[in-house]
Amino acid sequence: MKSRIEFDNEKCIWCHNCELVCSLYHEGVCSPMLSRIRISLNLFDAEVKAYVCRQCDDPECAKACPFKAIFFNERVGAYVIDEDKCKGCGLCARACPYNIEKNIIVFNPGKNVYMKCDLCSGDPQCVQVCPSEALKIVG
């Protein structure tokens, strides 16, 4: 069964804990630039948005990858990037129709690979640390 992160902007308090725990869990550092979830505040309408992989049914990113680095992980219930297969070409990021809005598939310059939400191997840390319960896993 496929899962994804769902965001309730009415509950978000814009603390960015989700971004920090994501980068800490995956990269060992607290760096929003290395997070697989992005929280943004539109100052014109005061709307908070979360940008995270939508786990599409027929993902363009996976179809675009010439190295077959993006695959559906049955155990996790999500499309993930195999960092050992990723060559950092960026075709996945360019193919994602949601990546234009905000970086959902992001480049990690330290590893020379692209990364996106992988649901933390089935236990999304962002959901665990959100103090206002603005994030939840569905599916």
Give me the number of domains the chain comprises. 1
Q: Give me the CATH number covering residue 30.
A: 3.30.70.20
pTM reported for the whole predicted model: 0.91
52's CB contacts (< 8 A; 6+ apart) are 4, 5, 7, 36, 37, 38, 104, 117, 126
Note down the domain range covering 67.
Answer: 4-138
Give the model confidence (pLDDT) of 58-72 as tens digits.
Answer: 999 999 999 999 999
Instruction: Please give the structure tokens belonging to residue 117.
Output: 């939400």
Give the model confidence (pLDDT) of 69-113 as tens digits.
Answer: 999 999 999 999 999 999 999 999 999 999 877 789 999 999 999
Distance CA 39, CA 126 (A): 11
Give the model confidence (pLDDT) of 12-45 as tens digits.
Answer: 999 999 999 999 999 999 999 999 999 998 888 8
Distance CA 17, CA 34 (A): 13
